[in-house]
C-alpha cells in the first residue's frame, strides 16, 4: 500500500501524521510505503490533489477530502474524534482509511508540536485537549511568568499594557531587565512587540483595534486577537464577557456572551472558522486573522470557498468556546 504525504516545506504537522500512521499500522500485517512530496505553489497543489498541508493519499486517493475542498498550500485541519479540530487524522480514522480493524486496546495520545492553529487529541476528551493549540508558547522561568501575568492583568483591568516603570519593578525583583524579559516573551510568541519595542499584543489581548471588542464584567473594554481569544477570556479571568464582533464575510453584527464555558449568541446560529495560512511565524501573523465569527455555517463555508488559500474548518460556538477556555483558562494559574 502506497501512502503519499503531500506537504509544504517545513509543515509542522507532518511529524504528527507520521507518528499516527505508525501507530495505526502497528501490529498489523499491512505493508505500507510512505513517500513525501513537497509542494510550494497553488498550481502544484492542484495537480497533485493537495487540499492543504499535510494531505495523505492512499494509493493515490485522499480518503479524508471533504466536499467542496479546493487545492491549497495552506494549513490543513482535520476533524478530531468526538469534535474539535486536529492537525492530522486520528489513529482511528487512519485505520478506517487503511481498511484495518479498529484498535481494541490502548488510547490515542498525540505528542510533539502542532501548528499554531491545530489542536491535538490528548488525555481526556478531545474538547478538553484543544489547549494544545498554543500550549508550546509559554514564558520561560519565574521572571517571564511574573512579567507575563503583570501584562495580562493590566489589559484586563486597564485595557492596555502596563507602564514601563511597573514592568521595570517586576523584572528587578528577579535581577533582570524589562527589555530582556520582553524580548524573551516576544521570541517565544507569548507577546508581540512593535518595531519600537512596545507591547503590541499579549494573547488573548491586542493593544490595537481588532474586529473583536470585549467588555469584561467589572473590568476594561479590550480588543481580542481573534474569535478564539475572545471566547477564552472569561475562563481566564473568571468573569463574564460580552463580545461584539461581526460576520467576517457579510459584516452582520454578532454579539456573544460567555461565562466560563457557557456561551450564548445573537444570532444563535453563530459559528467560528478556525484556519491558518501555511507559513512559519507567530500566531498573530499566520492564523489570528483567520479565526473569525460568522452568523451561520453557510456564511462561513462561503468565505472558506472564496479563500482557498486559507485552510481550516467550521466549528460550533460551544466547541470554539471550550477551545478558548482550554487555551487561556490556565494562563494566570501557572
- Indicate whether 107 belongs to any domain: no
pLDDT at 111: 31
- Indicate whether 334 belongs to any domain: no
pLDDT band at 188 (very low <50, low <70, confident <90, very high): confident
Indicate if the pLDDT at residue 286 is higher than 70: no
Residue 83 and residue 191 in one domain: no
Q: Which residue has the higher pLDDT, 67 or 228?
A: 228
Residue 195 and residue 261 in one domain: no
CATH number at residue 161: 1.10.10
Show the cell assigned to 164: 514601563
Rounded distance between C-alpha atoms, residue 320 and residue 266, angstroms:
16
Phi then psi for 322, rounded to 5 degrees?
Answer: -60, -35
Q: Which residue has the higher pLDDT, 104 or 187?
A: 187
Residue 288 and residue 177 in one domain: no
Residue 282 and residue 258 in one domain: yes
Average pLDDT over residues 12-26: 85
How many residues appear in the chain?
334
pLDDT at 25: 85
Q: Which residue has the higher pLDDT, 132 or 297?
A: 297
Residue 304 and residue 230 in one domain: yes
Indicate if the pLDDT at residue 62 is higher than 80: yes
Residue 6 and residue 125 in one domain: yes
Least confident of 35-44, 81-90, 106-115, 131-140: 106-115
Residue 169 and residue 254 in one domain: no
pLDDT at 106: 32
Average pLDDT over residues 4-27: 86
Closest CA to 85 of 287, 254, 225: 287
Average pLDDT over residues 306-334: 84
pTM assigned to the model = 0.65
Task: Report the percentage of the chain scoring pLDDT > 90.
Answer: 49
Number of domains in the chain: 3
**Contact call for residues 225 and 201 (beta carbons, < 8 A):** yes
Residue 118 and residue 223 in one domain: no
Indicate if the pLDDT at residue 71 is higher than 70: yes
Task: Report the percentage of the chain scoring pLDDT > 70.
Answer: 83
Helix and strand element counts for the chain (H, E): 10, 18
Residue 196 and residue 261 in one domain: no
- Indicate whether 275 belongs to any domain: yes
- Indicate whether 276 belongs to any domain: yes
- Indicate whether 288 belongs to any domain: yes
Residue 43 and residue 93 in one domain: yes
Residue 211 and residue 295 in one domain: yes
Residue identified by cell 481573534 is 226
Average pLDDT over residues 78-87: 67
Show the cell assigned to 174: 528577579
Average pLDDT over residues 152-156: 97
Least confident of 19-28, 46-55, 114-123: 114-123
Residue 172 and residue 89 in one domain: no
- Indicate whether 108 belongs to any domain: no
- Indicate whether 333 belongs to any domain: no
pLDDT at 263: 96
Phi then psi for 127, rounded to 5 degrees?
Answer: -60, -45
**Rg value, the chain, Cα:** 21
Average pLDDT over residues 99-115: 44
CATH number at residue 298: 3.30.450.410
Give per-residue burial for 8-43: e unless 16+ CB within 10 Å, then b. beebbbbbbbbebbebbbeeeeeeeeeeeeebeebe
pLDDT band at 84 (very low <50, low <70, confident <90, very high): low
- Indicate whether 58 belongs to any domain: yes
The domain in which residue 38 lies consists of 2-101+114-132
pLDDT at 82: 55
Amino acid at each position: 500500500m502506497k501512502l503519499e504525504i503531500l506537504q509544504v516545506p517545513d509543515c509542522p504537522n507532518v511529524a504528527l501524521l507520521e507518528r499516527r500512521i505508525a501507530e495505526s499500522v502497528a501490529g498489523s500485517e499491512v505493508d505500507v510505503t510512505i513517500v513525501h512530496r513537497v509542494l510550494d505553489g497553488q498550481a502544484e497543489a492542484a495537480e497533485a490533489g493537495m487540499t492543504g498541508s499535510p494531505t495523505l493519499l492512499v494509493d493515490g486517493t485522499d480518503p479524508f477530502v471533504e466536499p467542496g475542498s479546493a487545492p491549497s498550500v495552506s494549513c490543513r485541519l482535520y476533524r478530531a474524534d468526538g469534535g474539535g479540530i486536529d492537525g492530522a487524522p486520528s489513529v482511528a480514522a487512519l485505520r478506517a482509511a487503511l481498511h484495518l480493524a479498529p484498535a481494541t486496546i490502548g488510547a490515542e495520545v498525540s505528542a510533539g508540536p502542532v501548528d499554531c492553529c491545530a489542536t491535538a487529541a490528548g488525555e481526556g476528551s478531545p474538547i478538553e485537549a484543544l489547549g494544545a493549540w498554543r500550549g508550546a508558547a509559554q514564558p520561560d522561568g519565574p521572571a517571564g511568568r511574573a512579567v507575563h501575568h503583570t501584562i495580562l492583568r493590566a489589559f484586563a483591568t486597564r485595557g492596555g499594557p502596563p507602564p514601563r516603570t511597573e514592568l521595570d519593578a517586576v523584572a528587578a525583583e528577579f535581577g533582570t531587565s524589562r527589555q530582556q524579559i520582553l524580548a524573551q516573551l516576544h521570541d517565544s510568541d507569548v507577546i508581540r512587540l512593535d518595531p519600537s519595542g512596545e507591547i503590541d499584543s499579549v494573547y488573548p489581548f491586542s493593544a490595537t483595534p481588532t474586529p473583536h471588542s470585549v467588555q469584561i464584567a467589572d473590568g476594561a473594554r479590550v480588543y481580542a486577537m481573534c474569535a478564539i481569544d475572545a471566547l477564552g477570556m472569561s475562563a481566564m479571568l473568571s468573569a463574564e464577557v460580552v463580545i461584539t464582533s461581526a460576520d467576517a464575510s457579510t459584516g452582520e453584527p454578532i454579539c456573544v456572551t460567555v461565562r466560563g464555558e457557557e456561551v450564548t449568541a445573537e444570532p444563535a446560529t453563530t459559528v467560528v472558522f478556525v484556519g491558518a495560512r501555511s507559513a512559519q511565524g507567530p500566531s498573530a501573523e499566520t492564523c489570528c486573522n483567520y479565526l473569525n465569527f460568522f452568523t451561520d455555517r453557510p456564511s462561513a463555508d462561503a468565505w472558506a470557498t472564496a479563500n482557498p488559500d486559507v485552510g481550516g474548518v467550521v466549528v460550533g460556538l460551544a466547541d470554539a468556546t471550550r477551545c478558548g477556555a482550554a487555551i487561556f483558562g490556565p494562563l494566570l494559574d501557572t
